[in-house]
């Protein structure tokens, strides 16, 4: 397992973590099998937004004896009615289901309390100003929560939450289908600038990317942007989806939903995959989901005669532009070759499918890291 910092919390979390939305309404033994295998593979962050009693009881059973090895993320505002998921903005109801989380999971605290599923300015204002944020802050003071987070699918409100200074973590959809979502790049940069961890959800676009159907109708919650109609020219793998998501600046970890141990292994295969298996550039080309001149860190521009890892160099440079840290500078300096080794031959620019001005990027990176 590879680990990354969870933003300003400073905690090391598994780069591939686990979303649990597909572990509802299945036998307890199947839930336990997935959770225990995830723990055995080094996964230490689990998103747990469902509030149904059976779901929580099954999860509690699975985590028994492992609480100190798992970060549990609960959601303030996620409830159930008549056995089905629902969202509430009634604060007393939200509090009741939060307390139920602590009781059913047999724990004194959640590691992360999310202001749950907020989209649209009106809803954002309710969550941030009508008691939800204040309640989450109170839970932190009481020791019932360690960190405050925000989840949503709209760039404008997610960015407001990041820039508010009140949240430590943002959960937002990051996938191939949302590559050119308007404002997405600014949102990622804001996470870096404010040291807010980005937990990437929907890496498979709600499963659409992995389906056999070539035509995809995508909703707002699946793209993190406008609705979209797209065509797949070939089958897409979990590895390519996760490769894209984990390559994006600001991303701390990704929480794919896995219903079976086999699906979990399909996700974890990312760590042993070849560069060819991870290459997602052709998919973005097929979807026409790119902005000319914007690097997507795919390294299609290699090989470099100076042996520079161009994708990683540009990635670190773009992070450093917003938030230069000792960790980022150390990562840059640790590379065998860096931007200052560029001889401006231009071979990378001839190969780049996205028309990135690599030479200019290398010049800028050399100055930033000088």
The per-residue pLDDT for 282 is 84
- In angstroms, the CA 10 to CA 322 distance is 18
Extract the tokens encoding 123.
Answer: 């809803």
Least confident among 119-133, 207-221, 313-327: 207-221
pTM of structure: 0.85
Average pLDDT in the 138-150 region?
Answer: 98
For the domain bounded by 3-287, which CATH number is listed?
3.20.20.100
Q: By mean pLDDT, which of 101-115, 178-192, 288-302, 352-366 is the weakest?
A: 288-302
DSSP one-letter code for 303: P
| Average pLDDT over every residue of 230-242 | 88
Instruction: Write out the H or E segment, with its range, that includes residue 254.
Output: strand 251-254
User: What span, in angstroms and rounded, lies between the C-alpha atoms of 16 and 3?
Assistant: 8
Q: What DSSP element (H or E) covers 337?
A: none
Sign of torsion over alpha carbons 249, 252, 257, 258: positive
d(CA 15, CA 333): 22
Look at residues 344, 298, 339 and name the one whose alpha carbon lies nearest to residue 320. 339
Question: Is 222 a residue whose pLDDT tops 80?
Answer: no
**How many alpha carbons lie under 13 Å from residue 242 in its C-beta half-sphere?**
24
In the predicted model, what is the mean pLDDT of residues 32-37? 98
Q: pLDDT at residue 219 above 90?
A: no
Q: Binning pLDDT at 50, 70 and 90, where does residue 15 land?
A: very high
Longest dimension (CA), the chain: 66
Instruction: Read off the DSSP letter of residue 297.
Output: S
127, 177, 223, 249, 355 from 226: Cα distances, Å: 23, 10, 7, 21, 25
Please give the structure tokens belonging to residue 176.
């191939």
Q: Where are the domains of the chain?
A: 3-287, 310-368
pLDDT at 289: 59
Place of tokens 């003071």: 141
Q: What is the pLDDT of residue 342?
A: 97
Residue 223 has pLDDT above 80, yes or no: no
Please provide the average confidence, as pLDDT, over all residues in the chain. 93
pLDDT more than 70, % of the chain: 96
Given this model, what pLDDT does residue 291 score? 61
Q: Are 12 and 3 in contact (CB under 8 A)?
A: yes
CA 247 to chain centre: 10
**Whether pLDDT at 221 is above 70:** no
Exposure string for 350-370, b = 16+ CB within 10 A, e = fewer: eebebebebbebbebbbebbe
Asked which of 19-33, 67-81, 321-335 is least confident by mean pLDDT, the reply is 321-335
User: Does pLDDT of 6 surpass 80?
Assistant: yes
pLDDT of residue 363: 97
Residue 343, pLDDT > 90, answer yes
Number of alpha carbons in the 13 Å side-chain half-sphere of residue 186: 11
Mean pLDDT value of segment 138-160:
97
Alpha helix segments (H runs only) across the chain = 28-40, 53-63, 91-104, 121-129, 132-142, 155-164, 184-193, 220-223, 238-247, 261-268, 275-278, 281-287, 310-322, 326-333, 347-351, 358-368
Name, in order, each residue with C-beta under 8 angstroms of 76's C-beta and a sequence gap of 6 or more: 94, 95, 98, 113, 114, 115, 116, 132, 135, 136
Q: How confident is the model at residue 290 (pLDDT cuts 50, 70, 90)?
A: low
d(CA 349, CA 130): 51
DSSP 69: G
Q: How many helices (DSSP H) and strands (DSSP E) are in the chain? A: 16, 14
C-alpha–C-alpha distance, residues 214 and 336, integer Å: 42
Mean pLDDT of 122-144: 97
Q: Is the pLDDT of residue 292 over 60?
A: yes
Which one, of 194, 193, 182, 289, lies nearest residue 241 by Cα?
Answer: 289
Residue 60 CA to residue 74 CA, distance in Å, equals 13
* pLDDT grade for 100, boundaries at 50, 70 and 90: very high
């Amino acid at each position: 397992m590879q680990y990354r910092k969870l933003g300003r919390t400073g905690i090391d979390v598994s780069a591939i973590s686990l979303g649990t939305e597909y572990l509802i309404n299945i036998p307890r033994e199947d839930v336990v099998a997935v959770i225990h295998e995830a723990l055995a593979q080094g996964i230490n962050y689990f998103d747990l937004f469902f509030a149904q009693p059976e779901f929580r009881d099954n999860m509690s059973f699975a985590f028994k004896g492992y609480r100190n090895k798992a970060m549990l993320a609960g959601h303030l505002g996620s409830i159930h009615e008549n056995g089905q998921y629902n969202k509430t903005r009634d604060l007393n109801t939200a509090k009741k289901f939060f307390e139920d989380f602590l009781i059913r999971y047999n724990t004194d605290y959640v590691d992360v309390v999310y202001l749950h599923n907020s989209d649209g300015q009106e809803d954002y204002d309710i969550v941030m100003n009508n008691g939800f944020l204040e309640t989450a802050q109170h839970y932190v003071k009481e020791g019932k929560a360690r960190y405050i987070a925000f989840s949503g699918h709209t760039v404008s409100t997610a960015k407001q939450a990041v820039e508010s200074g009140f949240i430590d973590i943002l959960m937002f959809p990051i996938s191939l289908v949302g590559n050119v979502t308007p404002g997405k790049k600014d949102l990622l940069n804001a996470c870096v600038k404010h040291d807010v961890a980005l937990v990437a959800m929907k890496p498979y676009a709600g499963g659409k990317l992995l389906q056999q159907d070539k035509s995809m109708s995508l909703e707002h919650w699946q793209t993190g942007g406008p609705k979209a109609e797209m065509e797949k020219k070939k089958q897409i793998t979990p590895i390519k989806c996760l490769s894209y998501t984990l390559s994006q600046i600001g991303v701390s970890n990704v929480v794919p939903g896995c219903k079976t141990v086999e699906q979990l292994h399909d996700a974890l295969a990312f760590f042993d995959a070849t560069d060819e298996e991870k290459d997602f550039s052709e998919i973005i080309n097929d979807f026409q989901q790119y902005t000319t001149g914007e690097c997507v860190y795919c390294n299609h521009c290699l090989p470099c005669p100076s042996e520079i890892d161009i994708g990683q160099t540009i990635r670190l440079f773009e992070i450093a532009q917003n938030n230069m840290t000792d960790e980022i500078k150390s990562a840059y300096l640790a590379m065998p070759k860096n931007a200052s080794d560029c001889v401006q031959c231009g071979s990378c620019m001839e190969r780049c499918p996205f028309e990135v001005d690599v030479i200019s990027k290398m010049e800028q990176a050399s100055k930033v890291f000088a």
